[in-house]
Structure 1
């Protein structure tokens, strides 16, 4: 399918792995210039750029720029670099985030909460504040934020993450109401238990606790902790990326202020 976005420029945060890198591959095949960003200019980010370059078509360019979304000045510097190099970003896929502090609610401190909020909520606020003006200047824009099944079906040990992801959906809706008349569209996706570095780390920790393999830890987790996943498996990053690519396209021109669950049936309610 021709997404009709050849020549556009996209910023992907959390771009060195998982959902970010898979979405980048979809977009560069459509001729979209992609900036991959993560908090460190490390070997993972450089390797991600090399991987995505293999998929480039129609003159697409790929660049890696480090930026820590928990630091406002670094987000502003990122925006300035993209404006200078490409004239601004038409598309923002903000996939950077962290599980943050987890555990018994009464044992989580203010500091635990604030560290999670700084990344998972305020990171999105900073990105939107820095890049909406670029989209306005370009008179065309798509911003996709990442929420989670946790926003609808919260898990008790992840209360800061749950709250931030619910807030992301509200933020996206607020932005859609504020700027849609300027041809800027804002949407959310809510993935559940996808094969990403975050869930990989969770499963490695669980495997150690249970003295078993990661594969068996995944099976145990699906059965005991995520029993509502109708498909009974982890999702693949490309299964999420394909939906994001559609939301970036001209074909999604009447999708605005929406949240799309990509969860294999993980949310039990029909109306979540």
Structure 2
């Protein structure tokens, strides 16, 4: 399959690292004009350089905006008024005991993980529908199905993204626009590496070995038996954004390594 997005503009939110940056590189490799995003202008510039290093002569730009507030979403839309592809990737995570999660933390997770996708879809989806082509992808998680007891607030937001993407797919029915979710499982992103560093040091093992230990102890249903790479997740995202994925809409596309113990999506 030869994915060609050379005539498309793609926005990837939260793309200064991890899955978002890998997706930006993958979309650039497919020929898309890519817009990266992050809160910090220095990190946005670094992400632009990283995409150019991976895909020389690619068309990549960036917008520094905090999408955890309506004003940040408005700034991104003002800078890039139209897009053919929107990847709602931005999000935060972190374990915390349920009884210690205050209202402010719940609100912060909801505003960034969920409302950023609501606001940006509301801004970009109508024009996609008018043009008769578009792709919206929400980066959910297997944690949206297997709610982790130590990250209930995170799992809640990822479940909400599944509902949002399915509803928007119905809204866009018959317009040539598809809306899907991608559900990564445990993935070796920068944030997860930081989380594993303490375990690796305590056990005297590498980060990769600590990742395998984590998967076996915390996600024993995994068929992969290891953390996925960000590139492996990005491959699914790029496919969902492609012209070839025209018959895939309203889906929950799992890249979870088989963590979710189900034979149906």
Partner of residue 93 from structure 1, selected from 87, 95, 102 = 87
| Alpha-carbon shift at residue 243 of structure 1 (Å) | 1.1
1:159 aligns with 2:152: yes
Q: Is the 1:69–1:126 Cα contact (8 Å) retained in structure 2?
A: no
The worse-fitting range, judged by mean Cα deviation, of 219-228 and 198-207 is 198-207
Helix, strand or coil for the counterpart of 1:37?
strand
Partner of residue 123 from structure 2, selected from 130, 133, 142 = 130
CA deviations on 1:80-99 (whole Å, 9 max, x unpaired) are 2112xxxx210011111110
Helix, strand or coil for the counterpart of 1:89?
coil
Q: Is the 2:4–2:31 Cα contact (8 Å) retained in structure 1?
A: no
| Alpha-carbon shift at residue 56 of structure 1 (Å) | 4.1
CA distance in 1 between counterparts of 2:160 and 2:217 reads 27
| Alpha-carbon shift at residue 41 of structure 1 (Å) | 1.0
Helix, strand or coil for the counterpart of 2:5?
coil
CA distance in 2 between counterparts of 1:73 and 1:12 reads 18
Q: Which residues of structure 1 form unaligned runs of 5+?
A: none
CA deviations on 1:15-36 (whole Å, 9 max, x unpaired) are 1111122122222222210000
Distance change (3 Å), C-alpha of 1:181 and 1:232: same
Aligned positions of 1:108-147 closer than 5 A: 108-147=101-140
Aligned twin of 2:47: 48
Q: Is the 1:69–1:127 Cα contact (8 Å) retained in structure 2?
A: no
CA distance in 2 between counterparts of 1:116 and 1:211 reads 32
CA distance in 2 between counterparts of 1:2 and 1:80 reads 33
| Alpha-carbon shift at residue 217 of structure 1 (Å) | 3.1
Aligned residues: 264
RMSD of equivalent CA atoms? 1.9
Aligned twin of 2:19: 19
CA distance in 2 between counterparts of 1:106 and 1:60 reads 47
CA deviations on 1:172-191 (whole Å, 9 max, x unpaired) are 00000111222211000000
Helix, strand or coil for the counterpart of 1:180?
coil
Aligned twin of 2:261: 268
Aligned twin of 2:10: 10
CA distance in 2 between counterparts of 1:90 and 1:206 reads 42
The worse-fitting range, judged by mean Cα deviation, of 19-28 and 228-237 is 19-28
1:192 aligns with 2:185: yes
1:106 aligns with 2:99: yes
Q: Which residues of structure 2 form unaligned runs of 5+?
A: none
Q: Is the 1:34–1:62 Cα contact (8 Å) retained in structure 2?
A: yes
